[in-house]
Amino acid sequence: DAKTTQPPSMDCAEGRAANLPCNHSTISGNEYVYWYRQIHSQGPQYIIHGLKNNETNEMASLIITEDRKSSTLILPHATLRDTAVYYCIVRVSQTGANNLFFGTGTRLTVIP
Amino acid sequence: ETGVTQSPTHLIKTRGQQVTLRCSSQSGHNTVSWYQQALGQGPQFIFQYYREEENGRGNFPPRFSGLQFPNYSSELNVNALELDDSALYLCASSLSSSYNEQFFGPGTRLTVL
């Protein structure tokens, strides 16, 4: 599985967009980009995933560069409840064990 | 729809003891994965079960073992506990073994003294 690189921490003002970057320069053509987040003392929560095209759901948007070597998770209007550790994971979808390889993630702090 | 549940919430054991942690999968999910999360680290994959069979294993010794039952609930067993086994143990279920959207439980906090 491709390795990902994320900044260890970021701050964002409440109500502003939070843009969380992720580098995955060794990603393979069949590997998806997944984002999970973990709010303090809870289990990780799935946010969004994508392969090539940009994706949007009720929680966030995922922007993947054309060469797929990096991506950005966008929380359009950050709230205090979005304070969490955000994990970027690249993984091929295949039969067999689809375990997720978590790094240390980005700790996002939303400031009032 | 009931989410993933885990029991107990917290547990304290002493070195050398054995522990069993339990997980109930989300309704309709036939795959369960277990992760260990040490303080300040991301979760680390232990193993995955699909339809009662082990379907993959991370870099954990054999004293970490598991079971999945016909109702797809699961157990994680750890023998000969060591101090470094102190961690948050997370269970995650998914619709199938090839499905990467995993739904995590709240975890069991294990402390080994």
Do A102 and B44 make contact, defined as CB atoms within 8 angstroms?
A: yes
Q: Residue A91: pLDDT band by 50, 70, 90 thresholds?
A: confident
Do A45 and B104 make contact, defined as CB atoms within 8 angstroms?
A: yes
Tell me which residue of B99, B97, B49, B51 sits closest to B77, measured CA to CA.
B49
Is A55 near chain B, with CB under 8 Å? Answer: no
Facing A98 at nearest CB: one of B35, B58, B97? B97
Q: Which residues contact A62 (CB under 8 A, 6 or more apart)?
A: A33, A35, A48, A49, A50, A54, A55, A56, A71, A72, A73, A74
Do B97 and A32 make contact, defined as CB atoms within 8 angstroms?
A: no
pLDDT tens readout for residues A2-13: 689 999 999 999
Instruction: Find the closest chain A residue to B55 by CA distance.
Output: A97
Per-chain mean pLDDT for chain B? 92
Q: Residue A29: pLDDT band by 50, 70, 90 thresholds?
A: confident
Identify any residues that bridge with B99 across adjacent strands, giving them in sequence order. none
B-contacting residues of A 5-24, CB under 8 Å? none
- Mean pLDDT confidence for B58-83: 95
Confidence check: pLDDT of B27 > 90: no
What pLDDT does residue A53 have?
Answer: 87
User: DSSP string of B68-90?
Assistant: E-TTS-EEEEE-S--GGG-EEEE
Sign of the torsion formed by the C-alpha atoms of A36, A39, A41 and A42:
negative
How far is residue B101's CA from residue B73's CA, in Å, rounded to a whole number? Answer: 18
Is A53 near chain B, with CB under 8 Å? Answer: no
Contacts of B10 in chain A (CB under 8 A): none
Confidence check: pLDDT of A20 > 60: yes
Is A95 near chain B, with CB under 8 Å? Answer: yes
Identify any residues that bridge with A21 across adjacent strands, giving them in sequence order. A72
What pLDDT does residue A96 have?
Answer: 54
In this structure, are residues B59 and B45 in contact, taking their beta carbons and an 8 Å threshold? no
How far is residue B70's CA from residue B82's CA, in Å, rounded to a whole number? Answer: 31
Per-chain mean pLDDT for chain A? 91
What pLDDT does residue A93 have?
Answer: 61
In this structure, are residues A68 and B64 in contact, taking their beta carbons and an 8 Å threshold? no
Identify any residues that bridge with A59 across adjacent strands, giving them in sequence order. none
Instruction: Find the closest chain B residue to A35 by CA distance.
Output: B101
Q: Residue A45: pLDDT band by 50, 70, 90 thresholds?
A: very high
Facing A93 at nearest CB: one of B56, B92, B100? B100
User: DSSP string of A14-72?
Assistant: TTSPEEEEEE-TT--TTEEEEEEEE-TTS--EEEEEESSS-EE-SS-EEEE-TTSSEEE
Facing B98 at nearest CB: one of A94, A103, A105? A94
